[in-house]
Amino acid sequence: MGLVDQAEFHFFHFFPYTDLPPDHRERPSLWVDFPNTNYDPKTGHELYNRYLSEMLLADKLGYDGLVLNEHHNTQYSMNPAPNLTAAALVPQTTSWISVFGTPPNLGYPNRLAEEYAMLDVMSGGRLRVAFPLGTGMEYWANAVNPATARARFRESIDIILRCWTEDGPQTYAGDFYTYRYLNPWPRPVQRPYPECYIVGTGSPETIELAAELGFGYSVVFIPRTAQLKVFDHYRERLAAHGHDPTPDKVAIGVMAYVAETDARAEEEFLPHVMYFFENALRTTPRYLNPPGYVTVPEFRKRIQAPDVHGSANWEDLVAINRIVAGTPDKVADAIAGWIEESGSSRLNLNLTLGDMPNWKVVKNTTLFAEEVIPRLRSKKEAA
């Protein structure tokens, strides 16, 4: 069985707030300090209903899963509590529900273990989770010292795994969390626990932790060529820790748009891709890398890297990211190539991006399900 035939297609939604004031482009950052007076709850209500309907459409069309993530103090996402969104989706869906995810070190890990177990039980064992360290911006929005982020992150995951795998009540005495009675109810359906990933941007420390735990790994917002090197390193470390580096251990993100012609697809998709990179992601180096958030070598590497946000054109973005717009044949061929080059059988699909209107999301999600996925599935018979 080839990699393409093993591939799972998961519909990823950012839940953005896109009704921004006309002068928002004058602000250096739309994260952390972008005033919440720009948020209209009535508009938010309408967007929540719309976005949930888009995810339900993806489930109805047969996507393998639905993916949610978490961010704070930003228009980038209206999902500061994705477990609530997941709970709203569980009784209305049949696909996997992935929360990719809640930084476990920003709250109480025993509570997060309980919430995930609750979702797994409610869904009958359809939950998958990812543990992100969180962007640097999250540490300006939450009362956690970024210098302790990685140590708290590791300890938090240790607590969650103990909650899921060891009988309670038990005790836990750590550097950041102490429990006299660690005795969570409920416990997950999936044993020993739901499939777990760690989400990162390629830092060696995060890769090593994912490999040590035998978790899957997903890397975001670094160029495709750099991702491939990161995946190779992750697989090497995974094997070194005695875990099998199967294709499902690596998840890749794809931004795609399908239309009747290549020209129409680019015309309909391009403004929303540019909005996403120029506006939705816009922040400052200060917010992106708070003091102590990364190691000194990693900090030096990041500040020396070119910044494409806010300055790149369509050709630049397509050249370094997994972005494709075109006919079903063009999109299927591009994705088949990315699956093979990355050695990944898990795809998180960004079929709605930036300020894309609902009619485009419905068109794109439907065409991808009905025209692209069958073409990819048929490649096995053609081989």
Let me know: does 114 contact 184? Beta carbons within 8 Å. yes
Q: Where residue 28 falls among pLDDT bands split at 50, 70, 90?
A: very high
Q: Judge whether 347 and 335 are in contact, CB under 8 Å.
A: yes
Query: What is the reported pLDDT for 343?
Result: 96
Question: In percent, how much of the chain has pLDDT > 70?
Answer: 93
Whether 381 shows a pLDDT value over 50: the answer reads no
d(CA 160, CA 112): 7
12-21, 198-207, 324-333: the lowest-pLDDT one: 198-207
The residue that leads in pLDDT, 205 or 309, is: 205
Tell me the three state secondary structure of residue 197. strand
271 to 83, 217, 265, 280, 342: CA distances (angstroms): 31, 30, 11, 12, 28
User: In the 8-state DSSP scheme, what is residue 37?
Assistant: G
Cα–Cα–Cα angle for 11, 217, 6, nearest 5°?
55
Alpha helix positions (H), the chain: 3-6, 41-60, 82-89, 109-123, 138-141, 149-165, 204-213, 224-240, 262-275, 285-288, 296-304, 314-320, 328-342, 358-367, 373-382
Give me the residue label for tokens 């990162």: 200
CB 184 within 8 A of CB 168: yes
Cα dist from 238 to 3, 8, 306, whole Å: 19, 21, 30
* Amino acid 378: pLDDT: 76
The reported pTM is: 0.94
Q: What pLDDT shows up at residue 51?
A: 98
pLDDT(7) > 80: yes
Which residue matches tokens 């390193």?
233
pLDDT at 143: 85
Of 36-40, 304-308, 370-374, least confident by mean pLDDT is: 304-308
pLDDT, greater one: 312 or 214: 214
Pairwise CA distance, residues 286 & 273, whole Å: 24
Q: Provide the percentage of residues in the chain whose pLDDT is more than 90.
A: 86
> Which top CATH class is 3-382?
alpha beta
Out of 109-113, 141-145, 294-298, the most confident range is 109-113
Could you tell me the two tokens for 226? 């750099």
Pair 257, 351: CB distance under 8 Å: yes
Give every CB contact of residue 5 below 8 A, 6+ residues apart in sequence.
Answer: 377, 379, 380
Q: How much is the pLDDT for 215?
A: 98
Q: With helix as H, strand as E and coil as C, how does 206-234 read?
A: HHHHHHHHCCEEEECCCCHHHHHHHHHHH
Q: In one letter, which amino acid is 47? A: L
> 332 with 372: CB under 8 angstroms?
yes
Collapsing DSSP to helix, strand or coil, 203 comes out as coil
Q: Is the pLDDT of residue 296 over 80?
A: no
Bridge-based pairing of strands 170-173 and 178-182 is: antiparallel
pLDDT band at 305 (very low <50, low <70, confident <90, very high): very low
Q: What pLDDT score was predicted for residue 304?
A: 46
pLDDT score, position 292: 85
Question: Tens digits of per-residue pLDDT, 208-232?
Answer: 999 999 999 999 888 999 999 999 9
Average pLDDT, the chain: 93
pLDDT tens, 51-89? 999 999 999 999 999 999 999 999 999 999 999 999 999
